[in-house]
Amino acid sequence: MAVKRLATCAALSSLVINSALAASATGRITYMASDGHQLMLDNSDMYAVGPAVDLSSVGVADRVKVDWDRQGGENVITRMVKAPLTPSSPSRG
């Protein structure tokens, strides 16, 4: 019985830890590897591109929002969409 409880607790804590590693970031693409497997945002973080992510509609200098997970020591993008520009503050004149 105690072993079953321990296994259940370990499985639940694994789920919590894995979901805690999911994150998102928004920024401009500053670098894309020619093979399309890595890119860098203007936050200077390098990301691996997951197999489900389509890069055909984005390029260097595009502003994007990425969802990523920590997998095997890398930040792996699981979803990416173009992000709208943030409105600039009105100039005072």
Contact 65, 24 (CB under 8 A): yes
What's the mean pLDDT when you consider all of the chain? 82
Please, which pLDDT band fits residue 22 given cuts at 50, 70 and 90? Answer: confident
Position 12 scores a pLDDT of 47
Considering the domain boundaries, does residue 26 fall inside one? yes
- Candidates 62, 41, 67, 31; CA nearest to 52 is 67
The verdict on residue 41 lying in a domain is yes
Q: What pLDDT does residue 16 have? A: 46
The number of domains in the chain is 1
Q: How far is CA 31 from CA 17, 59, 92, in A?
A: 30, 9, 35
Per-residue pLDDT tens over the stretch 25-53? 999 999 999 999 999 999 999 999 999 99
CATH number of the domain that residue 39 is part of:
2.40.50.320
For the stretch 52-88, pLDDT in tens is 999 999 999 999 999 999 999 999 999 999 988 766 5
Domain that holds residue 60: 21-82
Residue 34 has a pLDDT of: 93
Look at residue 55 and tell me if it is in a domain: yes
% of residues, the chain, pLDDT over 90: 65
Verdict on whether the full-model pTM lies above 0.75: no
Looking at the domain assignment, is residue 87 inside a domain? no
